[in-house]
């Protein structure tokens, strides 16, 4: 069952096209990691998914509702955590949750306070909370209507390692409760730690959308980081790309990285380098990570 | 709507808005009788000597009624400025600071959120001018001698309160349109003083909310002369709130750099 189905989403801010035909599919019960560089269109997408912003074109179905026909964001009945959640600083944590729930203090609010680790701070004003506490309260606020779908925009990006770890732990627990969670982030390590599926946006378009396991399988292919003494001519690099077993070649400022089907390809790569008289400073083998795939997509295949 | 009302009450108390407004109104209510009874004659007699001073002293002979009307005039001018800048963030700050994002996502309705603001601050801003006017009535009565009963004072106070509701509607509307507190405050002042100035110039006060203040200053309850300015004020307020709601429903939220 699809919790989110997005097709050809377009969003303009004046002359700037923030989303350029974005497609996205999120299945029920999964943690979907939405990755991309700053300014790629992550928050714009999250705002549209939460019903806070309207697309110029495209289809967008969230939690069984057509977002383009929505009259009020609250009708989506989802939980949303903005990148920087803003609370009333003069309210306590408990008052905030009671206000957002629209009912008097209930067991559910007590559960949320306990679960987010804010029970002891429930009577403290939010203005005095640390960033991590605000983020946990934000997750609690997103859970106030016990929604099946949670959209979390950069929930851990501004936190210290301890705060990040706490938030990731909460996200994992939410999945265990059967919730569907969409997490946008540019911290790829977080994605590798919690997500089931990864979608990558670049310049307002979805570059890929794959299960994490598949990505990890793909990224299990070895990478050879090669640093030549002097720069290599582009036509030689193009030739190298055609070698058997070479999946891709990415050039950086002083080096280039070859992604290969297996380690045996190193023999033909070394032979090719020797054949063309390319003196190398270093030749190292490493296992690819999500970050390599990300950089590969951002820099172009 | 209970939650929204409690939230606005907490905001009024904890942000110090209630205290500022009450203290400001009370200050002018108590200052006016002292100014007219003690300070003004002293200043004038210091400036002039002998018979001239005595003559001027005669001119400054004030009654309780003069004193109350003087205060009501001050409230129109200074009170409007105080209200405009104390409550200019009522809706503008919510938009600028993105504090409405979580409530909206939690299912809070714009109508209820605005309704709670109008109800809480409307009630407070009706009660405060009435209390301040009663304080002015009591203190001026002690200094000048009691001249009128309490009923006309209550009548005047309530009319002032209704006028303040009009100011609140202005603040709410301009806050949503401008999305920034201080410009919203200035636009409210421009609207209030603009209407007052134009209606005085064209002698059409009864057709504007300013007519309520003119009626309040008369301190003589008359339903016939009140009906027109009251109806006009209610229509204007309904128009402003409808416009505000319509704007809020079309607004995009949590968009970077737009607020």
Q: What is the DSSP string of B7-48?
A: HHHHHHHHTSHHHHHHHHHHHHHHHHHHIIIIIHHHHHHHHS
Q: Quick one: A149 and A58 in the same domain?
A: yes
| Domain end call among A154, A186, A216 | A216
Q: How many CB pairs under 8 A join A and B?
A: 92
- The pLDDT, as a whole number, for residue B186 is 95
Distances (CA, A) of B101 to A63, A97, B157: 19, 14, 37
Smallest CA-to-CA distance from B182 within B79, B254, B77, B81 is with B81
User: Cα(A233)–Cα(B6) distance, rounded to whole angstroms?
Assistant: 71
CB contact under 8 A, A101 and B106: yes
Q: Quick one: A251 and A208 in the same domain?
A: no
User: Cα(B175)–Cα(A199) distance, rounded to whole angstroms?
Assistant: 39
pLDDT by residue (tens digit) across A74-92? 888 899 999 889 999 999 9
DSSP classification of residue A74: G
Q: Quick one: A211 and A230 in the same domain?
A: no
Q: Quick one: A125 and A265 in the same domain?
A: no
Domain CATH for A44 = 3.40.50.300
CB A157 within 8 A of CB A82: no
Residues 36-55 of A with CB under 8 A from B: 43, 47, 50-54
Residue B219 counted as domain residue:
yes
Residue B150 counted as domain residue:
yes
- The pLDDT, as a whole number, for residue B50 is 59
Which residues have C-beta within 8 Å of that of residue B2, sequence separation ≥ 6? none
Low-confidence spans in chain A with pLDDT less than 50: 301
Residue B220 counted as domain residue:
yes
Contact of A71 with chain B, judged by CB distance below 8 Å, is answered with yes
Contact of A95 with chain B, judged by CB distance below 8 Å, is answered with yes
- Taking CA–CA distances from A74, the nearest residue in chain B reads B107
Measured between beta carbons, the chain A residues lying within 8 angstroms of B99 are: 86-88
Tell how strand A2-13 and strand A16-27 pair up: antiparallel
- Taking CA–CA distances from B107, the nearest residue in chain A reads A74
CB contact under 8 A, A47 and B103: no
Interface residues of chain B, partner chain A, Cβ below 8 Å: 3-4, 6-7, 10-11, 14-15, 97-99, 101-110, 249, 252-256
Q: Quick one: A205 and A238 in the same domain?
A: no
Which residues have C-beta within 8 Å of that of residue B139, sequence separation ≥ 6? B29, B30, B33
- Taking CA–CA distances from A144, the nearest residue in chain B reads B106
**Chain A closest-CA separation from residue B103 CA (Å):** 6
Torsional class of A270: left (φ above 0), alpha (ψ -120 to 50), beta (otherwise): alpha
To probe the interface with B, which of A73, A105, A125 has the most B CB atoms within 10 Å? A73
Residue B259 counted as domain residue:
no
Q: Quick one: A152 and A226 in the same domain?
A: no
- Taking CA–CA distances from B2, the nearest residue in chain A reads A102
- The pLDDT, as a whole number, for residue A301 is 47
Cα separation of the two ends of chain A:
32
**SS3 state at B131:** helix
- Taking CA–CA distances from B97, the nearest residue in chain A reads A86
Q: Quick one: A202 and A225 in the same domain?
A: no
Residue B44 counted as domain residue:
no
Q: Which two tokens stand for residue B190?
A: 């421009």
Q: Which residues pair with A248 in a beta bridge?
A: A259
Tens-level pLDDT at each residue, chain B (259 residues): 888 999 999 999 999 989 998 998 898 888 888 888 777 777 777 766 655 555 555 556 678 888 888 888 887 788 889 899 999 999 999 999 999 999 999 989 999 999 999 999 989 988 988 898 899 889 888 888 888 888 888 888 888 888 889 999 999 999 999 999 999 999 999 999 998 888 888 888 788 888 888 888 887 777 778 888 899 999 999 999 999 999 998 898 888 655 4
- Taking CA–CA distances from A73, the nearest residue in chain B reads B105
Radius of gyration of chain B from Cα atoms? 21
Contact of A70 with chain B, judged by CB distance below 8 Å, is answered with no
CB contact under 8 A, B107 and A142: no
Q: Quick one: A239 and A97 in the same domain?
A: no
- The pLDDT, as a whole number, for residue B100 is 93
How many distinct structural domains can be found in chain B?
Answer: 1
User: Cα(A178)–Cα(A189) distance, rounded to whole angstroms?
Assistant: 23
Q: Which domain, by its residues, includes A36?
A: 2-216
Q: Quick one: A105 and A12 in the same domain?
A: yes
User: Cα(B99)–Cα(B121) distance, rounded to whole angstroms?
Assistant: 19
CB contact under 8 A, B253 and A78: no
CB A30 within 8 A of CB A176: no
Measured between beta carbons, the chain B residues lying within 8 angstroms of A47 are: 252-255
Q: Which domain, by its residues, includes B122?
A: 2-33+62-249
CB contact under 8 A, A47 and B255: yes
pLDDT by residue (tens digit) across A177-234? 889 999 998 888 888 888 999 998 888 899 889 898 888 777 667 888 899 988 888 8
Q: Please name the member of B102, B104, B107 whose beta carbon is closest to the beta carbon of A85.
A: B102
CB contact under 8 A, A82 and B256: no
CB B11 within 8 A of CB B86: no
Q: Is the dihedral of CA B134, B140, B142, B148 positive or negative?
A: negative
pTM for this entry:
0.80
| Domain end call among A199, A216, A233 | A216
CB contact under 8 A, B107 and A145: yes
- Taking CA–CA distances from A138, the nearest residue in chain B reads B102
How many distinct structural domains can be found in chain A?
Answer: 2
Domain CATH for A290 = 3.30.70.980
User: Cα(B35)–Cα(B44) distance, rounded to whole angstroms?
Assistant: 12
CB A195 within 8 A of CB A33: yes
CB contact under 8 A, B107 and A74: yes
Residue B236 counted as domain residue:
yes
């Amino acid at each position: 069952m699809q919790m989110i189905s997005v097709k050809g989403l377009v969003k303009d801010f004046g002359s700037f096209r923030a989303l350029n035909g974005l497609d996205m599919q999120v299945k029920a019960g999964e943690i979907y990691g939405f990755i991309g560089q700053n300014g790629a269109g992550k928050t714009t997408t999250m705002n549209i998914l939460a019903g806070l912003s309207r697309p110029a074109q495209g289809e967008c179905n969230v939690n069984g509702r057509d977002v383009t026909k929505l009259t009020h964001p609250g009708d989506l009945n989802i939980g949303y955590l903005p990148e920087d959640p803003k609370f009333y600083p003069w309210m306590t944590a408990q008052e905030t949750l009671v206000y957002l729930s629209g009912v008097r203090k209930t067991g559910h609010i007590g559960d949320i306070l306990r679960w987010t680790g804010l029970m002891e701070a429930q009577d403290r004003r939010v203005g005095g909370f640390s960033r991590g506490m605000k983020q946990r309260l934000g997750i609690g606020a997103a859970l106030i209507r016990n929604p099946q779908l949670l959209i979390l925009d950069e929930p851990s990006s501004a936190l210290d390692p301890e705060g990040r770890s706490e938030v990731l732990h909460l996200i994992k627990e939410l999945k265990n409760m059967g919730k569907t969670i969409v997490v946008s982030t540019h911290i790829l390590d977080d994605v590798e730690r919690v997500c089931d599926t990864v979608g990558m946006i670049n310049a307002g378009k979805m570059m890929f959308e794959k299960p994490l396991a598949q990505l990890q399988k793909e990224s299990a292919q070895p990478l050879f980081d090669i640093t030549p003494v002097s720069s290599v001519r582009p036509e030689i690099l193009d030739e190298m790309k055609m070698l058997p077993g070479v999946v891709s070649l990415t050039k950086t400022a002083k080096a280039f990285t070859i992604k290969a089907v297996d380690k045996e390809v190193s023999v033909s790569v070394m032979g090719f380098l020797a054949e063309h008289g390319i003196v190398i400073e270093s030749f190292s083998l490493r296992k690819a990570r999500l970050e390599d795939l990300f950089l590969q997509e951002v820099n172009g295949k | 709507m209970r939650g929204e009302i409690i939230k606005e009450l907490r905001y009024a108390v904890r942000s110090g808005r209630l205290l500022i407004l009450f203290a400001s109104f009370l200050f002018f209510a108590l200052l006016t009788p002292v100014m007219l009874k003690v300070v003004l004659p002293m200043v004038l007699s210091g400036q002039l000597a002998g018979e001239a001073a005595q003559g001027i002293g005669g001119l400054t002979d004030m009654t309780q009624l003069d004193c109350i009307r003087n205060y009501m005039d001050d409230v129109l001018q200074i009170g409007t400025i105080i209200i405009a800048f104390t409550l200019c963030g009522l809706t503008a700050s919510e938009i600028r600071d993105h504090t409405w994002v979580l409530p909206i996502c939690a299912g809070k309705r714009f109508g209820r959120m605005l309704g709670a603001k109008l109800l809480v601050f409307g009630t407070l801003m009706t009660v405060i001018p009435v209390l301040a006017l009663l304080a002015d009535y009591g203190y001026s009565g002690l200094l000048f001698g009691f001249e009128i009963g309490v009923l006309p004072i209550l009548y005047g106070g309530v009319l002032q309160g209704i006028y303040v509701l009009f100011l609140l509607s202005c603040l709410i509307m301009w806050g949503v349109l401008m999305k920034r507190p201080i410009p919203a405050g200035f636009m409210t002042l421009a609207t209030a003083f603009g209407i007052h100035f134009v209606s005085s110039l064209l002698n059409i006060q009864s057709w504007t909310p300013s007519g309520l203040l003119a009626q309040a200053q008369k301190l003589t309850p008359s339903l016939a002369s009140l009906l027109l300015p009251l109806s006009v004020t209610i229509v204007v307020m309904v128009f402003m709130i409808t416009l505000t709601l319509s704007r809020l429903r079309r607004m995009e939220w949590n968009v970077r750099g737009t607020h």
